[in-house]
Chains A and B, each alone.
Chain A
Amino acid sequence: MTIHVESRNGVCRALVTVEMTIYYAAQLKEDLLPCLELATTLELDLSQVRDMDTAGFQLLLLAKREAERAEKKLHLVAHSPATQEVLNLYNMAAYFDDPPRTPGLTD
């Protein structure tokens, strides 16, 4: 499994345990999308994501879009420096409705 899921009070917290790169992309897609079924609000914990490339980023985009379509909430939390950098480069932090956080201050 690339994603470790914990559910608490209707909030589903999914911890991505691998780097979000093209090597894991297929697997991640398969694992990530079903998580949206689990709860109305999904928190995607990126703290363990040591590396992220465009393929990984696209999965975030996909997940966010699918969540919106299902009228659910997807929050990205605990960005790792690598994910933060990609979101900043693509100027997409705002899109994910998460104010960019300085690495090291994540919860």
Chain B
Amino acid sequence: MEMDELFQTFIMESRELLSAMEESLLALEAAPNDRESLNSLFRAVHTIKGSAGMLELDAIVIFCHNIETVLDRARDGLVTIDPDLMSLLLSCRDHIAMLVEQVAVDSTTPHKPDTLQSCGLLMDQLKVYQVGVPGAVEKELWHISLRFDSNVLNYGMDPLSYIRQLKNIGEIANLVTLPNALPEAQHMNPESCYLGFEFDFHGKNIDKARIEKVFEFVRNDCTLRIVPPHSHIEEYIELIQELPEDKLRLGELLVDCGSLTRNELNEALDMQRLCAELRPQDGEHPLVCQLGDILVEQLMIPSELVDAALVKQKKALDNKSLEKTLVRIQTAKLDRLINLVGEMVIAGATTNLLALRSKDTALLESTFVLSKLVEEIRDSALQLRMVEIGETFNRFNRVVRDLSHELGKNIILSIHGSDIELDKSVVEKIFEPLMHLVRNSIDHGIESASVRQKRGKPAQGKLQLSAYHESGSIVIEVSDDGGGLNTEKIHAKALEKGLITATQTLSEPEIHELVFAPGFSTAKDVSNISGRGVGMDVVRRDIEALRGTVKIDSREGLGSTIEIRLPLTLAIIDGFMVKVGNTAYVLPLELVMECLELSEAQRLEIRDINYFEVHGTLLPFIRLRQHFRDKSRPSLREYLVVVQYAGQRAGLIVDELLGELQTVIKPLGKLFANLKEISGSTLLGNGEVALILDVAVLIQHTT
């Protein structure tokens, strides 16, 4: 691998680990005694340190090492994770992120002096938690459980000699001789051995294999179980989890981490085989002999170790299958594929058209199958770009935590619909607007605890991020249970800014809409968090750039919900084509509710009005011919297409209905940027261009 690639991988990995780290930290803050969070935190730091070491990024290595030391002490219970340490660890995480990002920008020049300085400051703070690190290693007591077979003495092997040998390599403590197996006097064979021993053992550089070596020659004539130093069982669990994933077999794992030696593994494997052979006869007990069970039963290893190994084994399997299904692809390649699929959709439409003209049944049939397949390919190609929104949502955990601390508010964030998928480019672009909305909610929306209590609300404020599907779009909501918008204040401010005139009568929602107007901000005191001049108008602009809409629903005193509505995909849609004059227009199919042919009488009836009665309700409509000032000859027939967007319905009057088609959206050039009603264009099978209508904008025109 090229050095560059190594750096790329390191940066990508570190980013993932850093977000894992943040997650663990926040989990740890919620539950300070959660061992698993602490462990995964430790692992994340440890892995970053390791990879940084490989790339000789010393600043990161040293920094991570300092954090690791503190975390290690926390794991040993020598340091408790209090709010101070939590904040420090979070800052440390951010600092690693900064170091990593600096490497991302330029891996050759060392870090900036001020970065290194803050590095030093943080490390000084960490020192407080590192006191007493050197020499604090406690005695590692191995527990050895030994039972001799009765014939050892006859073979000239004396248990005493093994104990003596052990004493040569270490120290024996707490030895208990078990005389229980000694039979009745008359049955006691003085040349048989009946003894068992339980004892602890410790010494320098002792590992399992070394202990076993002592018993090498008596291996088959005794039952030897060596339990690793108890205080370090966690260590082993950890180790198992840290082992490379591809070592799938449990036994191998345990051998590798030193708590099981090859001999034990073989013994256990033999027993497993034996069990398997015995099972068919043992019909009443359909026991499945698992290696792990056998090992535990044999007291070879503590059951925690086996559990951890099994979890690891399963995880390795999961990861393996995940690995098999996951491929990292450059977005450029993906985009090229999607472009090609787009071209294929258009070419397919041409073929369909030609086949229709030829009236060749066989050809028609085959093109029918082909277009079915093209449709599927289109869907799966688009699916490739879809990512879950959960990851974006999760980033707000930290945001909410930090901001609420900063403002001294108590706010809990709940997240719903993490599994909703969005186009990758949309997900990337939605973060900033969401950030703005979340900041707004925390800063202006949710009141301080004392105010909340006065208003009879729970002291803890609630902020909710949710995503769900709704008829062809994806809805993302940011809602809070705060004070809501102050209608009067907004009205006054809008007047002051000249956005409205005093004579205008506006409904409450209309006034709320004003916050999206450019340059509008009601925050009396410009705070650090929001109100930095970038207002809700930017949010709206960002979201509209994604062909989405944003709406606000606020109840004074109860809170507000901001609803962002985004199209499912950006590139290809199922369209419904209509014609006005000589121009073809495409509507997103999922927005089309129904189509009606207008009779002569009906056309007369609505000649001078712009609403129509459908199923007993009044429906506003737009005559596209007038709207687009089409000067061609009026058609003899007219149709009404009922469209619905965000709960609002409207009618569009067109000349002709041409039916469904798959449409590849081609953005219009900058020249047409002012054409609000047109969201794009598409090439038809016959090479003509059709304009894609922006239904959301059109509906607004009717109201």
Q: A92 at the A/B interface (Cβ < 8 Å)?
A: yes
**Smallest CB-CB separation from B167: which chain A residue?**
A89
B188 touching A25 by the CB < 8 A rule?
A: no
Residues 299-310 of B, flagged 1 when their CB comes within 8 A of A and 0 if not, give: 000000000000
Partner of B193, one of A28, A54, A92: A54
B160 touching A26 by the CB < 8 A rule?
A: no
- B164 / chain A contacts, CB cutoff of 8 Å: 89
Partner of A58, one of B154, B190, B197: B190
Within 8 A of B (CB), among A1-47: 22, 25-26, 28-29, 33
Q: What's the minimum C-beta distance from A24 to chain B, rounded to whole angstroms?
A: 9
**Smallest CB-CB separation from A66: which chain B residue?**
B185
Binding site for A on B (CB under 8 A): 153-154, 158-160, 163-164, 167, 175-177, 179, 182, 185, 188, 190-191, 193-195, 197
Contact-residue size bin, chain A (C-beta under 8 Å from the other chain): 20 to 34
Task: Tell me the bound Cα distance from A57 to B193 in angstroms.
Answer: 10
Q: Would A55 and B182 be within 8 Å (CB), given that A22-B153, A91-B177 are in contact? A: no
- B175 / chain A contacts, CB cutoff of 8 Å: 89-91
Q: What's the minimum C-beta distance from B421 to chain A, rounded to whole angstroms?
A: 67
- A54 / chain B contacts, CB cutoff of 8 Å: 153, 158-160, 193, 195
**What would 28 A/B residue contacts be, using CB atoms closer than 8 Å?**
A22-B153, A22-B154, A25-B191, A29-B188, A33-B185, A53-B158, A54-B153, A54-B160, A54-B193, A54-B195, A55-B153, A55-B191, A55-B193, A58-B179, A58-B193, A58-B194, A59-B190, A62-B185, A62-B188, A65-B182, A86-B160, A89-B164, A89-B167, A89-B175, A90-B160, A90-B197, A91-B176, A92-B177
Q: What's the minimum C-beta distance from B112 to chain A, rounded to whole angstroms?
A: 63
Task: Tell me the bound Cα distance from A57 to B161 in angstroms.
Answer: 13
Binding site for B on A (CB under 8 A): 22, 25-26, 28-29, 33, 53-55, 57-59, 61-62, 65-66, 86, 89-92, 95
- B182 / chain A contacts, CB cutoff of 8 Å: 58, 61-62, 65
- A33 / chain B contacts, CB cutoff of 8 Å: 185
Known contacts A90-B197, A91-B177; 9 additional CB pairs below 8 A are: A22-B153, A22-B154, A26-B190, A53-B153, A54-B153, A55-B153, A61-B182, A86-B160, A89-B163
Q: What's the minimum C-beta distance from A54 to chain B, rounded to whole angstroms?
A: 5
- B163 / chain A contacts, CB cutoff of 8 Å: 89-90
B179 touching A65 by the CB < 8 A rule?
A: yes
Q: What's the minimum C-beta distance from B164 to chain A, rounded to whole angstroms?
A: 7
- B158 / chain A contacts, CB cutoff of 8 Å: 53-54
- A26 / chain B contacts, CB cutoff of 8 Å: 190-191
Q: Which 4 A-B pairs have the closest CB atoms?
A: A25-B190, A91-B175, A29-B190, A90-B177
Q: What's the minimum C-beta distance from B97 to chain A, rounded to whole angstroms?
A: 56
- B153 / chain A contacts, CB cutoff of 8 Å: 22, 53-55
**Smallest CB-CB separation from B148: which chain A residue?**
A54
- A89 / chain B contacts, CB cutoff of 8 Å: 160, 163-164, 167, 175
Q: What's the minimum C-beta distance from A61 to chain B, rounded to whole angstroms?
A: 5
Q: What's the minimum C-beta distance from B217 to chain A, rounded to whole angstroms?
A: 15
- A29 / chain B contacts, CB cutoff of 8 Å: 188, 190
B188 touching A53 by the CB < 8 A rule?
A: no
- Which among B154, B190, B195, B197 has the greatest number of chain A C-beta atoms within 10 A? B190
- B179 / chain A contacts, CB cutoff of 8 Å: 58, 61, 65
Q: What's the minimum C-beta distance from B225 to chain A, rounded to whole angstroms?
A: 19
Task: Tell me the bound Cα distance from A91 to B159 in angstroms.
Answer: 14
**Smallest CB-CB separation from A63: which chain B residue?**
B185
Task: Tell me the bound Cα distance from A29 to B195 in angstroms.
Answer: 17
Q: What's the minimum C-beta distance from B425 to chain A, rounded to whole angstroms?
A: 73
Task: Tell me the bound Cα distance from A22 to B160 in angstroms.
Answer: 13
Task: Tell me the bound Cα distance from A54 to B188 in angstroms.
Answer: 14
**Smallest CB-CB separation from B157: which chain A residue?**
A54
- B177 / chain A contacts, CB cutoff of 8 Å: 90-92, 95
Task: Tell me the bound Cα distance from A50 to B596 in angstroms.
Answer: 117
Task: Tell me the bound Cα distance from A86 to B167 in angstroms.
Answer: 13
B190 touching A28 by the CB < 8 A rule?
A: yes
- B194 / chain A contacts, CB cutoff of 8 Å: 58
Q: What's the minimum C-beta distance from B553 to chain A, rounded to whole angstroms?
A: 78
**Smallest CB-CB separation from B164: which chain A residue?**
A89
**Smallest CB-CB separation from A58: which chain B residue?**
B194
Task: Tell me the bound Cα distance from A25 to B163 in angstroms.
Answer: 21
- A61 / chain B contacts, CB cutoff of 8 Å: 179, 182
- Which among B179, B193, B197 has the greatest number of chain A C-beta atoms within 10 A? B179
Q: What's the minimum C-beta distance from A49 to chain B, rounded to whole angstroms?
A: 14
